[in-house]
Structure 1
Amino acid sequence: MRPGHGRVAAAVLGLVASLGLGAVGEASAAPAATTAPTADRWTDRPHGFASLAGGTTGGAGGKVVTVTDQASLAKYAAAEEPYVIRVKGSIPVEPFGSDIVVGSDKTIIGVGDTGEIVHGELHLNPGTSNVIIRNLTIRDSYVEGDWDGKSTDFDAIQMDSVDHVWIDHNRFTHMGDGLLDIRKDSQYVTVSYNQFTHHNKAFGIGWTTDVKTQITIDHNWFTGTKQRNPSADNCAYAHLYNNYLSAQVADGDPVWTYGNWSRGRTRMVIENSYYDGVRHPYQADATAELVQRGSVLRNTSGRHDTWGTAFDPRDFYDYRLDPAAAVPALVQRFSGPQKRIGDSVVLHVPAHYPTVQAAVDAVPDGNDVLVTIAVAPGTYRAKVYVPASKPNLVLQGTGRHRSDTVIVHDTPAEYGGSTGSATVRIAANDVTARNLTFSNDFDEAAVELKGEQALAMKTTGDRIVFENTAFLGNQDTLMTDSPKLTTASRVYIRDSYIEGDVDFIYGRATTVIERSVIRALSRGSTTNNGYITAASTWKDNPYGFLITRSKVVSDAPAGSFHLGRPWHPGGEPDAIAQVLIRDTELPAAIKAAPWTDMSGFSWKDARFSEYRNVGPGAAVTADRPQLSDAEARSYTVARYLNGSDGWAPYDRH
């Protein structure tokens, strides 16, 4: 469930109760809300009939593209290969009322909540399959004076003889004929959380003598419409639940003003919907079947037909049934385009992309929307590179624990240098990794090589976040760097685990490690097992490494591990290391004089310090510079990370 959704639902139900909606009109007794498992309101995967018979994935597995004009939209929508097509801003269609043909294996989704198609129709030709259309406004192909839609056929979406389609979180208004026409034996369709407004013929299903269509229609808002809300003709199964019909157009028509109509040989089930001021809220032909349960009817009139047994939707799928009294508030809030949906794209590994790198490669250069690469539990033995051209990514392990999802390789620096050895490299800005383990399992003890560096992770991008991640290796496990000497990139690591032996946290990026565990591995020596840090902070950058509110653990003998040494890459004299370890527990393995020289550069010329550390490895001596209380106020997480742009990833939780 989406975080906070329980509180939102409770608040909505409280609002409903305070308004007395459950006690108004001809309310029938509503059953208790089901607890059957189902996706929440913000999932990127379809539910209902569109989830069956292999499911509906849209353009998953294809590249992500952003379109801002009709030509680009038409090109990608009709392409043979799969695409995730993001519609940014308003796209006017010419000539007025023209079709944009949508081929198989496509996702078309509005960016933010302002993506729109104006004066045109999305059209799915016979044989099209596997299409997702989400988070769009499609509007304004209405021809003045043609209220009955007799002179044009300008729908918002029309489909003939298609299968596996999900229409979700859209707004359809003021079109030339129907808003949504699902025709001629189309199968496995779900229509959810849409708004149908300002129109005569809202939503029709049928145009066939066969009885094949299976359709789920839930949480839609029909307001300012007259008929077809929907009209379902010869549907094998039509499941309507938690829909809201309000403000019906009143033009005096006694027959063709209605809510839901089960026509022909349709079997229709209506559950927990809400009808407010609707004439003929639900009706059925004598040849059809209609079962209604749990709905609220307020100020309704005319037909309320129910007969036959229809079918049991739970024989096909599980679903969440909201209380009917809550439907107006829920649907008004959650239907139609949602910024939260349009501001992000989710790419699933390996369900839709075989590797993490394949998912990264699908992200467009210059990416300006959050793309989450959701990695299923498993071990992925491969390297991953996120180039600088692909910012705004989240690498998200979907297992219960970070150890469930591991990205690992075994390349040492001997084969490609330190950069080439890295299992994962992140050169892009604004990348977050969560709930993952990054590992380089090169066995340094088993192979005689000149260089034993073997990185699990190297970053050069700015505003990089690691949450609940693990970094496993030996020498040079984690390198946080920047594109060039004088550029200060920032990295924030929280609630994580880092292990290694020699210089296993190193580089020149401004790096904060908070609330984490750092394990210093023994190499079998009684005197020197390694160095936790090797910073190479540029001289003009006051902030290098901060380890705070963390715990260092080690199986190394007492007094055999250094806190760090100053790294001057290539002998660069202006790389003046800055490291502060504060409010952190240190083990007995830490040396009494924990800082040491490197490559002829004295540690005393670096900027090494401690503050309020505890544990058997903590001490205050002449060899362990300490910050004063006044100085410590200038070396906080915020001071390290804020920069000129006010970046504050530590405020997210």
Structure 2
Amino acid sequence: MAVFEWSKRMICSCVLALFVFSFIAETRTAPTALDDPEEVASMVSIIIRNSTERKLMQLRGSPSSCVTGNAIDDCWRCDTNWLNNRKRLAACAIGFGRNAIGGRDGQFYVVTDPSDNDAVNPRAGTIRHAVIQTEPLWIVFQRDMVIQLKQELIMNSYKTIDGRGANVHIANGACITIQNIKHIIIHGLHIHGCRPTGNALVRSTPSHFGWRGMADGDAVSIFGSRDVWIDHNSLSKCADGLVDVVMASTAVTISNNDLWHHNEVMLFGHSNSYKGDKVMQVTVAYNHFGEGLRQRMPHCRQGYCHVVNNDYSSGWGIYAIGGSANPTINSEGNRFVADPKRYPYSNQVTKRTSGDKSEWKNWNWRSKGDLFLNGAYFVESGATGANSEAYAKASSDVKAQKSSKVRAITSAAGALVCRRNRMCTRK
């Protein structure tokens, strides 16, 4: 055995030496210090050390060991030094909301106080005080906290709410309103139990507060806004929608969220009659639609929706993707798993909620590369061909991965656990 081990070490050493001398012969053009045997030995040592460091980097979570095909996560989540590189996230958006920079160009604001006792005069250190400021801010959290908002959280432009590094819940009260503003990133929050609030005064900037009527109880309401990115949140059990995009909002991406136990999940478009939503472009990518969801995943009106590489893993009570008022829907590379035992009459992915077939047969709804399991099926309509103008307007820059990869791509959907010097993970 000793002879065998000695022989193995000699073979490895010889191979390594041949590699080094080959490298030297190919790269040098004149005699150098590498002619010195001690320098050659030093180079061998460097090569061994570098090889070892590369192996260790892979074990610690370097890019080569965590790439999944999820274009957003592959951009930032491999970085174990995420804590000092938080703003790198702002370069990772895809889809129609890809230009959202949030508070990238501003300072950090640390939320230290979970209270929300006064919607008109919010206390410094609270999330409400942070989001109403006029300058760009990257908002983070000092510690784990549950924030029960008394009234809608009215945000100002150029803000990022970044929950990484803390377990942050916005729960059992009002939730987030993005109204007539731009450049917003919402990342890493648990939002649930949202309920209607309003008929109250609420501050929207340091210099203005006003009367707010009743809010519907959405987790995130996007109203008349653009350049918005909602990413890696866990959303459930709200009074109305989980994410609603209305009143001519556009340039929105909703990605990597984990959604469950809710009826009307996502509504895009204010009403069948509101023509302003024809400009709307929304990307829905890499989300996990889980247990207990019934409909609107999403429901699109008027505008353009790109639904790409999402996992519909647990069936749907009524339908998965719906629409009315002639929207264009481009469904690519999604995984649709019907649940005929639980929902015996809901195998169809799609539902038109206005007009009869003579009307909706001309609506541009297309499925490309989707995976249909347990009897799920998609009813297409409208123009054909990948290059049609309608589909071009409904296709963001997201390159769809094969539907067979969707479970891996969406495996980290939802708010992540992020610890210092480690990759952020789902658990």
TM bucket (normalised to shorter chain) is 0.5 to 0.7
Unaligned 5+ runs, structure 1: 11-32, 144-150, 251-256, 345-368, 371-653
1:205 to 1:318, Cα distance in 2 relative to 1, 3 A? closer
Partner residue in 1 for 2:322: 261
TM-score (structure 2 length as normaliser): 0.63
- Which of 47, 65, 85 aligns to 2:109? It is 65
Alignment of 1:605-620 (within 5 A): none
Q: What SS does the corresponding residue of 2:75 show, helix, strand or coil?
A: coil
Partner residue in 2 for 1:81: 135
1:133 aligns with 2:186: yes
Partner residue in 1 for 2:255: 192
Residue 78 of structure 1: how far off its partner (Å):
1.3
TM-score (structure 1 length as normaliser): 0.42
1:139 to 1:38, Cα distance in 2 relative to 1, 3 A? closer
Partner residue in 1 for 2:33: none
- Which of 67, 75, 78 aligns to 1:40? It is 75
Partner residue in 1 for 2:156: 103
Partner residue in 1 for 2:167: 114
Higher mean Cα deviation, 41-50 or 73-82? 41-50
Q: What SS does the corresponding residue of 1:339 show, helix, strand or coil?
A: coil
Partner Cα separation in structure 1 for residue 299 and residue 312 of structure 2: 13
Partner Cα separation in structure 1 for residue 330 and residue 76 of structure 2: 21
- Which of 298, 307, 330 aligns to 2:373? It is 298
Residue 40 of structure 1: how far off its partner (Å):
3.0
Q: What SS does the corresponding residue of 2:265 show, helix, strand or coil?
A: strand
Which letter does structure 1 place at the counterpart of 2:299? S
Partner residue in 2 for 1:156: 219
- Which of 269, 288, 310 aligns to 1:243? It is 310
Which letter does structure 1 place at the counterpart of 2:236? T
Deviations 1:603-625 (A, max 9, x none): xxxxxxxxxxxxxxxxxxxxxxx
Q: What SS does the corresponding residue of 1:329 show, helix, strand or coil?
A: helix
8 Å CA contact 2:232, 2:258 repeated in 1: yes
- Over alpha carbons, which structure has the higher Rg? 1
Which letter does structure 2 place at the counterpart of 1:48? G
Partner Cα separation in structure 2 for residue 315 and residue 201 of structure 1: 22
Partner Cα separation in structure 1 for residue 72 and residue 293 of structure 2: 33
Which letter does structure 2 place at the counterpart of 1:288? W
8 Å CA contact 1:192, 1:219 repeated in 2: yes
Alignment of 1:442-457 (within 5 A): none
Partner Cα separation in structure 2 for residue 302 and residue 39 of structure 1: 31
- Which of 335, 339, 345 aligns to 2:413? It is 335
Residue 162 of structure 1: how far off its partner (Å):
0.5
Residue 315 of structure 1: how far off its partner (Å):
9.6
Which letter does structure 1 place at the counterpart of 2:409? L
Residue 111 of structure 1: how far off its partner (Å):
3.0
Q: From the two aligned structures, give the one with the greater helix fraction.
A: 2
Residue 166 of structure 1: how far off its partner (Å):
0.5
1:185 to 1:308, Cα distance in 2 relative to 1, 3 A? same
Partner Cα separation in structure 1 for residue 166 and residue 407 of structure 2: 21
1:306 to 1:247, Cα distance in 2 relative to 1, 3 A? same
Alignment of 1:355-366 (within 5 A): none
- Which of 341, 350, 368 aligns to 1:282? It is 350
Partner Cα separation in structure 1 for residue 269 and residue 420 of structure 2: 34
Residue 92 of structure 1: how far off its partner (Å):
2.6
Partner Cα separation in structure 1 for residue 375 and residue 215 of structure 2: 32
Which letter does structure 1 place at the counterpart of 2:313? S
Residue 282 of structure 1: how far off its partner (Å):
2.7
Partner residue in 2 for 1:226: 294
Residue 38 of structure 1: how far off its partner (Å):
11
Residue 248 of structure 1: how far off its partner (Å):
3.3
Deviations 1:553-602 (A, max 9, x none): xxxxxxxxxxxxxxxxxxxxxxxxxxxxxxxxxxxxxxxxxxxxxxxxxx
Two-structure CA RMSD over aligned residues (Å): 3.2
Partner Cα separation in structure 1 for residue 247 and residue 165 of structure 2: 33
8 Å CA contact 1:130, 1:165 repeated in 2: yes
1:197 to 1:132, Cα distance in 2 relative to 1, 3 A? same
Q: What SS does the corresponding residue of 2:101 show, helix, strand or coil?
A: coil
Which letter does structure 2 place at the counterpart of 1:290? W
Partner Cα separation in structure 2 for residue 172 and residue 287 of structure 1: 34
Q: From the two aligned structures, give the one with the greater strand fraction.
A: 1
Which letter does structure 2 place at the counterpart of 1:238? C
Partner Cα separation in structure 1 for residue 394 and residue 380 of structure 2: 24
Residue 184 of structure 1: how far off its partner (Å):
0.9
1:277 to 1:101, Cα distance in 2 relative to 1, 3 A? same
Residue 220 of structure 1: how far off its partner (Å):
0.6
Residue 307 of structure 1: how far off its partner (Å):
3.1
1:324 to 1:9, Cα distance in 2 relative to 1, 3 A? farther
Q: Comparing both chains, which one has the higher relative contact order based on Cα–Cα distances under 8 Å and sequence gaps of 6 or more?
A: 2
1:316 to 1:300, Cα distance in 2 relative to 1, 3 A? closer
Q: What SS does the corresponding residue of 2:383 show, helix, strand or coil?
A: coil
Q: What SS does the corresponding residue of 2:127 show, helix, strand or coil?
A: helix
Residue 75 of structure 1: how far off its partner (Å):
1.0
8 Å CA contact 2:96, 2:252 repeated in 1: yes
1:142 to 1:247, Cα distance in 2 relative to 1, 3 A? farther
Alignment of 1:18-37 (within 5 A): none
Aligned residues: 300
1:172 aligns with 2:251: no
Partner Cα separation in structure 1 for residue 393 and residue 72 of structure 2: 12
1:281 to 1:7, Cα distance in 2 relative to 1, 3 A? farther
Partner residue in 2 for 1:308: 383
Partner Cα separation in structure 1 for residue 382 and residue 73 of structure 2: 29
Q: What SS does the corresponding residue of 2:404 show, helix, strand or coil?
A: helix
Deviations 1:404-461 (A, max 9, x none): xxxxxxxxxxxxxxxxxxxxxxxxxxxxxxxxxxxxxxxxxxxxxxxxxxxxxxxxxx
Deviations 1:183-205 (A, max 9, x none): 11101111110111110011110
- Which of 81, 93, 97 aligns to 1:50? It is 97
8 Å CA contact 1:219, 1:244 repeated in 2: yes
1:247 to 1:324, Cα distance in 2 relative to 1, 3 A? same
Question: How high is the sequence identity, in percent, across the aligned residues?
Answer: 22
8 Å CA contact 1:102, 1:124 repeated in 2: yes
8 Å CA contact 1:152, 1:176 repeated in 2: no
Residue 313 of structure 1: how far off its partner (Å):
5.2
Partner Cα separation in structure 2 for residue 41 and residue 313 of structure 1: 28
Which letter does structure 2 place at the counterpart of 1:269? N
Q: What SS does the corresponding residue of 2:307 show, helix, strand or coil?
A: strand
- Which of 404, 408, 411 aligns to 1:325? It is 404
1:298 to 1:214, Cα distance in 2 relative to 1, 3 A? same
Q: What SS does the corresponding residue of 2:253 show, helix, strand or coil?
A: strand
Alignment of 1:580-595 (within 5 A): none
8 Å CA contact 2:337, 2:376 repeated in 1: no
Residue 249 of structure 1: how far off its partner (Å):
5.0
Partner Cα separation in structure 1 for residue 266 and residue 397 of structure 2: 25
Alignment of 1:345-424 (within 5 A): none
Q: What SS does the corresponding residue of 1:238 show, helix, strand or coil?
A: strand
Q: What SS does the corresponding residue of 2:242 show, helix, strand or coil?
A: strand
Partner Cα separation in structure 2 for residue 216 and residue 129 of structure 1: 16
Partner residue in 2 for 1:92: 147
Q: What SS does the corresponding residue of 1:40 show, helix, strand or coil?
A: helix
1:246 to 1:305, Cα distance in 2 relative to 1, 3 A? same
1:103 to 1:286, Cα distance in 2 relative to 1, 3 A? farther
Partner Cα separation in structure 2 for residue 300 and residue 205 of structure 1: 27
